Structure 1
Amino acid sequence: MSRLRTLLFNLVFWGGSVPIVLTVPVSAWFGQRAVIAHATVWTRFHRWATRVLLGIHVRIEGERPDGPALYAAKHQAMFETLELQRLLDGPAMALKQELADIPVWGWATRRYGALVVDRDATSTALRKMMREASAAKAQGRSILIFPEGTRVRPGEQPPIKSGFAGLYRLLNMPTVPVAVDSGRLWPKRGPKRAGVITFRFGEVIAPGLGREEIEARVHAAINELDAPRP
């Protein structure tokens, strides 16, 4: 049943995503807000498809602060990259360079205002990302990053990437860790399983902490749900 559900989801969601992505240039004529609204339509379609076709539901724990914030989330599956766009009302999201280079899709993400991250973490790339994040903050947008740097399997807890502390210091925004356990139901390969994915918004962390403390607090909070389950 899981294989059949996954096949149906792939056909419906990815098939439906093609016209959504290809029509982004129409929204782009009306500015960035229209592109963000366009992206939200896509993520709502994703939420419908995952709920109806895969039987995946979402549970929210904790509360978000009022106003923009720096959200630092666990990354175990593609699921949270789209779901958090919807839940956080169109944040400026960190996106790896390889995705930003995809024709049409990459152009669309740049119009959306994504923060392009070079995994080689060169000083030039890091400064560029910092500028993009500062510009997003000036627009009143929240920032979403995955501070461990990459998607990981359940149980894996790599250290926080060095650029996170610099971004935290530069933006001087309240920081919200987000734990997620999507990898239990949404493996990188193989069929997806029905069930409940939890998003846990942790305690808001004020600006001004030193590097070691902010990294330790964020790392602990985003991994709160990362324990073996039946």
Structure 2
Amino acid sequence: MTNPVRWLLSLLFIAQMYLAMLVLAVVYLVPALVSRSGAWAGVHAYCRWVRFTARILVGLRSEIRGEVPQGEVLIASKHQSFFDIILICSAVPRPKFIMKKELKWAPLLGWYALRIGCIPVDRGKKGRAIAEMKRAVAEGAKIPGQLIIYPQGTRVAPGATLPYKVGTGIIYAQMNRPCVPAATNVGVFWPRHGILRKPGLAVVEFLPAIAPGRSISEFMAEIEAVIEPASDRLMQEAGFVAAG
């Protein structure tokens, strides 16, 4: 049975998290209009706030492990919940994402996403979506930063499996930059759905970079081979036991 106090604290945490998003978006609006650095400052301030209040209100501590990417790189990350986005954005200096095209119409959030160089793509028919993604990535390269993509394309709950999509390999080949894989266990504490947030230590771990120049098939096999075991290790460290 869920502890009602923990459930109420989780609800309070979620409510203030979205309120803080609105408040900080307004506070940093002028700096963001003046320069992209102001937009990134707002993003970093928000991520620090979410990490701080997660620790205070629900006992969810967070940690970044590994060498934080600094230059022009692709980051291919395991995605389990909104919190891994928060952790990665709090750590890297100029984060930008491959994101769903619909998000660019979200009030304030969509504008900030475009301002920091996020790349909206249409999840339509596969061939057209890949062609549009390649064009959008080429256009987005004009804004330097760390491009973050989720190879499985969506949030994946702990213990669930989902194939890695070839789009990540296509972007890796197109960018001709190193790729830093990233593992996480955040889904153990912050689920895809529901209100309850659990106490513990949520981790995003940056793994050794993969140099450019691999074939797409080799690259796809390698990122899955390093991200999945590393994420399993972090989840086991957090006390997660897979069903069966």
Counterpart code for 1:9: F
Q: 1:49 to 1:121 in 2, by over 3 A?
A: farther
- 2:96·2:113 contact (CA, 8 Å) conserved in 1? no
Percent sequence identity is 30
1:1-230 maps to which residues of 2 (within 5 A)? 1-64=5-68, 67-120=71-124, 122-187=126-191, 188-224=193-229, 225-226=231-232, 229=240
Q: 1:90 to 1:183 in 2, by over 3 A?
A: same
TM-score normalised to structure 2 length? 0.85
Question: Unmatched 5+ residue regions in structure 2?
Answer: none
2:34 aligned counterpart, secondary structure: coil
Report the CA distance between 1:125 and its aligned residue.
Answer: 4.3
1:133 aligned counterpart, secondary structure: helix
Q: 1:61 to 1:20 in 2, by over 3 A?
A: closer
Counterpart code for 1:114: C
Task: Tell me how far apart the structure 2 counterparts of residues 82 and 135 of structure 1 sit (CA, whole Å).
Answer: 25
1:157 aligned counterpart, secondary structure: coil
Counterpart code for 1:98: E
TM-score normalised to structure 1 length? 0.89
Counterpart code for 2:201: V
Report the CA distance between 1:167 and its aligned residue.
Answer: 0.2
Q: 1:25 to 1:58 in 2, by over 3 A?
A: closer
> Root-mean-square deviation (CA), in Å?
2.1
Task: Tell me how far apart the structure 2 counterparts of residues 60 and 11 of structure 1 sit (CA, whole Å).
Answer: 25
- 2:76·2:179 contact (CA, 8 Å) conserved in 1? yes
Report the CA distance between 1:91 and its aligned residue.
Answer: 1.5
Counterpart code for 2:52: W
Question: Unmatched 5+ residue regions in structure 1?
Answer: none
1:92 aligned counterpart, secondary structure: strand
